[in-house]
Chain A
Amino acid sequence: MSGAATQPVIELTEVYKAFGPKKVLNGVNLTVGERESVVIIGGSGTGKSVTLKCILGLLQPDSGSIKVDGEEVTTIGQGRDRDRINAKFGMLFQGAALFDSLRVWENVAFGLIQGRGMGREEAREKAIEKMAQVGLGRDVLDRFPAELSGGMQKRVGLARAIAADPEIIFFDEPTTGLDPIMSDVINDLIVECVKVVGCSALSITHDMASARKIANRIAMLYQGKIIWAGPADQIDRSGNDHVDQFIHGRAEGPIQMQVRAL
């Protein structure tokens, strides 16, 4: 595994998070190395999104440590330090989360203009460049997000995530809601972007095709714990029943879906 010898970019140690009586994260341990692409797989409601939101500082974990480039981030609050940490991040949201009151190029350039104080002209040029990287032409620059298809919105979201040249990009269900071909296009773009930008990536998905394509390393989250983690090419020989059931998508197995009769 690349980056294992150097300091990990992200390091989660025994992270716990509960919402009321519901324990969502039960001691998550995870590391992402430099230039490594880690994918967290797991069913719905296993705490994938919560893990991501804890790292991004959108949620505060109850206990445990989260380090970014060796710096503890669970205790820095919401001020300037958080902005400084988040400046290292790029995030592609599940629904793209584009600002619908802003034009496409303003969306892509948002982090540059608001976060870094770059001039609008310069930011627009940078936005054009980043949009070309994800295969979007100048014709969509001045449109509004609502006028674009789901796949195009995802691409704009991706362009926005890489616009500020982040060290780490997070992908929240990058292929959900897309047709198989567009999914593959997005997967290719992710692989390409991570390679071109030269950053690390942490993705969460339940789409195994996507996970296999974009991951160096896969970790499986189940009941708030990482139950298996290993190189992507060894996922078929994990020797873990839960993982086997998940990657083959079987209803029968150790993972019992909570299906209740009403």
Chain B
Amino acid sequence: MRELHPINFVALIGRAFLAFLATAGRLVLFATEGVSHIFRPPFYWRLIWRQMVDIGYYSLPVVGMTGLFAGMVLALQSYTGFARFSAEGAVATVVVLSMTRELGPVLAGLMVAGRIGASMAAELGTMRVTEQIDALTTLSTNPFKYLVAPRLLAAVTMMPLLVLVADIIGVFGGYVVSVYKLDFNAPNYLKRTWEFLEFQDVFSGLVKASVFGFLVTLMGCYQGYNSARGAQGVGAATTNAVVSSSILILIFNYIITELFFSK
């Protein structure tokens, strides 16, 4: 270990920063290339369809469960919390706003990062390691068009639908706990749910969902595509894909919220 001279420390920061910039640049190039192939023929409808089914349909149980319990715990927590200052009446509004604006998209995004991001990184990583991606090129098929573009398109379109389902199930979970456990009046609760809900609450959540879907797929594909050799390389790619997309989801969640709601 070298002596920790102040200038070495500065060099360390500089090196890390340059590495960060280089990665960010590569990522942007990767994303641009991937997105551009969504709009350029030929289109691989079968692959797009398969990815849509995988992302949209097969994520339903996971996302549905997440939404259900998130909604249920929201009702319980806000009830016990708000009871301290006699604001129990706000439970319905809190549940619906939290679900549509925040928890629906973020939790679904994180679950999909674990499910889809990891599997994409592992699949593309294995294809890289076993030279299948090189084989695509030699068969006059662009790997971005064949592998990346269908995944991006499928995630961006399917995630909002998934989140819409999560929203509905989450609100339902809150309703069940409120009405059957906390003895709320059912029609009253439903009325309260609709009363303060605005289009923008749901819409912002769906925009988030789309962006998160893009981020998860981008990181999954990027890490897999650039996977290092061997089983270890694929393992590292998978981990990096999940971790980086989860962090990006939380960062972009703040940014989008800021854009929609800050006044």
Chain A residues near B135 (CB, 8 Å)? 91, 93, 97-99
Q: Which of A36-57 contact B (CB under 8 A)?
A: 53, 56-57
Any B CB within 8 A of the CB of A89: yes
Residue of A84, A93, A115 touching B134 (CB-CB under 8 A): A93
Q: How far is the CA of A87 from the CA of B138 in the complex (A)?
A: 8
Chain A residues lying within 8 Å of B132, measured Cβ to Cβ, are 97-100
- Interface positions of B from 35 to 50, Cβ below 8 Å from A: 42, 44
Cβ contacts under 8 Å, A115 to chain B: 139-141
Q: Which residue of A lies closest to B144 (CB)?
A: A78
Query: Is the interface on chain B under 10, 10 to 19, 20 to 34, or 35 or more residues?
Result: 10 to 19
Minimum Cβ distance to chain B for residue A99 (Å) = 6
A171 part of interface (Cβ distance < 8 Å)? no
Contact A86 B134 (CB under 8 A): no
Interface: A117 (CB within 8 A) = yes
Contact residues of A between 62 and 103, Cβ < 8 Å to B: 78, 82-84, 86-87, 89-91, 93-95, 97-100
Does A61 sit within 8 A of B, measured CB to CB? no
Question: How many residues of A sit at the interface, in one of the four size bands?
Answer: 20 to 34
A58 touches B139 (CB 8 A): no
Contact assessment for A110 and B141 in the assembled complex, using a CB-CB cutoff below 8 Å:
yes
Q: CB distance A94 to B131 under 8 Å?
A: yes
- Most chain A CB within a 10 A radius of its CB, from B130, B134, B139: B139
Q: Which residues of B contact A114 (CB under 8 A)?
A: 42, 44, 139-141, 146
**Which residue in chain A gives the minimum CB-CB distance to B131?**
A97
Asked whether, in the complex, the Cβ of B137 is within 8 Å of the Cβ of A58, the reply is: yes
Answer yes or no: B8 CB below 8 A from chain A CBs: no
23 interchain pairs, CB-CB under 8 A: A56-B134, A56-B138, A58-B134, A78-B142, A86-B137, A87-B140, A90-B138, A91-B138, A93-B135, A95-B130, A97-B131, A97-B132, A97-B134, A99-B127, A99-B132, A100-B132, A111-B141, A114-B42, A114-B139, A114-B146, A116-B140, A117-B42, A170-B138
Residues of A contacting B134 with CB < 8 Å? 53, 56, 58, 93, 97
Which chain B residues numbered 116 to 149 have a C-beta less than 8 Å away from chain A?
A: 127, 130-132, 134-135, 137-142, 146
Asked if A83 contacts B42 (CB within 8 A), the reply is no
The distance in angstroms between the C-alpha atoms of A53 and B135, with both chains bound, is 11
Whole-angstrom distance between the Cβ of A60 and the nearest chain B Cβ:
13
The residue of chain B having its C-beta at the shortest distance from the C-beta of A86 within the complex is B140
Q: How far is the CB of B116 from chain A (nearest CB, A)?
A: 16
Q: How far, in whole Å, are A160 and B140 apart by their CA atoms in the complex? A: 13
Nearest residue, chain A, Cβ from B134: A58
Complex Cα spacing A94 to B131, Å = 9
Q: With A91-B135, A114-B146 as given contacts, are A97 and B140 in contact (CB-CB < 8 Å)?
A: no
Partner of B131, one of A83, A95, A110, A170: A95
| Apart from the given pairs A56-B138, A95-B131, A115-B140, 7 other A-B contacts in the complex at a CB distance below 8 Å | A91-B135, A91-B138, A97-B130, A97-B132, A111-B139, A114-B141, A116-B140
With A and B bound together, what is the CA distance between A58 and B197 in angstroms? 53
- Chain B residues in 8 Å Cβ range of A84: 140
Return chain B residues, CB-CB under 8 Å to A97: 130-132, 134-135
> Could you tell me the distance in whole angstroms from the C-beta of A106 to the nearest C-beta in chain B?
11
Q: Nearest-CB distance from A67 to chain B (Å)? A: 18
B137 near A56: Cβ-Cβ < 8 Å: yes
A165 CB to closest chain B CB (Å) equals 13
Residues facing A in B138-167 (CB within 8 A) are 138-142, 146
Instruction: State the CA gap A97–B137 with chains docked (Å).
Output: 12
Q: Is the CB of B139 within 8 A of A57?
A: no
| Chain A min CB distance to B191 (Å) | 50
**Of B130, B131, B141, B146, which is in contact with the most chain A CB atoms at under 10 Å from its CB?**
B131
Contact with A along B200-236 (1 / 0, CB 8 A): 0000000000000000000000000000000000000
Please, which residues of chain B bring their CB within 8 A of the CB of A110? 139, 141
Instruction: List the B side residues contacting A170 at CB < 8 Å.
Output: 138
When A and B form their complex, which 7 residue pairs have the shortest distance between CB atoms, in order from nearest?
A115-B140, A97-B131, A111-B139, A97-B135, A91-B138, A83-B140, A114-B141
A164–B44 CA distance with the chains assembled, in angstroms: 20
Alpha-carbon separation in the docked complex, A117 to B44 (Å): 11
Closest to A58 in B: B134
Please pick, from B44, B130, B140, the residue contacting A111 in the complex, using a CB distance under 8 A: B140
